[in-house]
Copies of this chain bind each other. A is one copy, B any other.
Amino acid sequence: MANKVFIATSLDGYIADKSGGVDWLHEIPNPDNDDMGYHDFIDSIDALVMGRNTMEILLSFGIDWPYPKPVFVLSNTLKQAPAGLEDKIFMVSGDLKRLVQDLADKGYNDLYIDGGVTIQNFLKEDLIDEMTITTIPVLLGGGKRLFGELAEPLKFKNVNNQRYLDAIVSSKFVRA
């Protein structure tokens, strides 16, 4: 059982720029569409957990729903999955520890925890086991931060680093 983060940030720790934009994620030329480990990561998880806001941003792109695994969406108000996605998206709410246990009981042991607020909420309860952080080498100088306030420090260790596109570094950290 592991709760995993796989996310890209700027060198100064932002996941969206000052305007909320993410164009800077894709500015480095990627002629061969290197997925920088994404599909291997998706193969390693049983399901995703994200916040309602992240789901709505994804839906706003107007593309096909991109995940081949069940997506559990945290919301205190929304109880129904979006029309047409009832077999892919499952609304959940309540205590995160209990959610993780409920999902494990259903056979979803390895979870992809996604979205800034959801990642921060899982970290506040020390529920993240590993993080793969892909650093886009730009200083944005402002925006929406990946990490937030914590009552107590959380120790990890670096276990792997991979350079992509002659510019980007992806580093994996596991809870120490």
Contact = CB atoms under 8 A, between A and B. Distances in A.
Interface of A: 11-13, 17, 24, 27, 123, 133, 135, 137-142, 146-158, 161, 163, 166-169, 171, 173, 176
- Give me the 6 closest cross-chain CB pairs, A-B, nearest first: A141-B150, A12-B147, A157-B167, A137-B156, A158-B169, A161-B161
A158 B171 contact: no
A130 to B, nearest CB: 11
B155 A137 contact: yes
Number of copies: 2
Given A12-B13, A141-B153, A163 B158 contact: yes
A128 to B, nearest CB: 9
Contacts of A24: 153
A149 B153 contact: no
A121 to B, nearest CB: 13
A169 B166 contact: no
Given A147-B12, A161-B161, A153 B171 contact: no
A12 B173 CA distance: 12
Contact of A169 (B11, B152, B167, B171): B171
Contacts of A166: 157
A145 B45 CA distance: 33
A149 B141 contact: yes
Nearest to A137: B156
Nearest to A168: B158
A136 to B, nearest CB: 9
B156 A138 contact: yes
A27 B13 CA distance: 23
A27 B140 CA distance: 30
A13 to B, nearest CB: 5
